[in-house]
Amino acid sequence: MSYFGKDDPRLEDIRRRAQDAASAEDWTALRAMETELRSDATFWTEVWAPISSCAAWKRGEEHPRLLLEEAISGGFDGSGEFDALLSEAFGLDDDWAELVAAMRANVSAPSIEILDWPTSRLSRPIRLFRLAGDREALLRERIPAPEDTAWGTALRLLGWVAGRWQHANAHVDDQDALDILKLVDDGARFACVEYSTVLSQALNASQIPARVVKLYADNYHTGLGKGHVVAEAWIDGLDAWVLLDGQNGMYWTDEDALLSVCRRSRSGSGPAGDAQLTLRSGRAR
């Protein structure tokens, strides 16, 4: 059992501190980490350089765009998660359109393109994302007791999972909720994949059929931050599949919720924070 970065505690610490600073919009703290962030060869070009450029602009530094131009020269393609920040910082520049074109030019062609799907219907049987019987029983001992209804239980589990740890860009090799929770107990923090794993396996352990759903943005084959992972559960009483975002504690119950969220993810806007998708979406209490 291992998680991304565990073999280099120094690098893992750098990533956590940088992500925490960015999340808190502590731009001074983030800018103070530039030397450390440059040592992160995996994420410097695609993550830290662009966000450092925005942080430099927020702080009123001279020539903040140099970091973004460095990233573009290194292959940064303008990942959708940075669109708002980059547009706020540099969208009024006279040559912004040219800069966007330079980013888009870094998007390489996919190795294969699917032009036609063989079927638009769900295959049978539907594959649930659950642990083996003995481990599922152990997981059942760790999760909150079920509510009187499936929907009440799902909401309780959603809120529980969303509050288990603070998001970080780390992953486990083996998607097992018990192992993930043990690592979290020891101080580890993970990303959307692990939130969805724990939520889906906890739902199944509570007799609520659930599966993991992977969402992709356009050009997901290149760059970072082009995907998100959520859970989908069948809720008796609602007689519907409901989309549950374990990372953000949000859910969607409208008809064709999965298709709606998939369209948003493909456009790069993503599902998190979408208060307009449906009147019945919201944050788990």
- Residue 36 phi, psi dihedral angles, 5° rounding: -65, -40
What pLDDT digit, counting tens, does each position of 30-46 carry? 999 999 999 999 899 99
Domains of the chain by start residue, with CATH: 9-104 (no CATH), 133-283 (3.10.620)
Question: Look-up: residue for tokens 């969220």?
Answer: 261
pTM for the full predicted model: 0.76
The pLDDT value given to residue 274: 38
Give mean pLDDT, residues 70-93.
89
Instruction: Give the residue-averaged pLDDT of 201-225.
Output: 83
Tell me what the pLDDT averaged over the chain comes to: 84
- Looking at residue 214, its pLDDT comes to 85
The one-character DSSP state at 262 is H
Distance CA 54, CA 86 (A): 6
DSSP state of 172: B
Nearest of 246, 273, 46, 260 to residue 154 by alpha carbon: 246
Residue 75 has pLDDT above 80, yes or no: yes
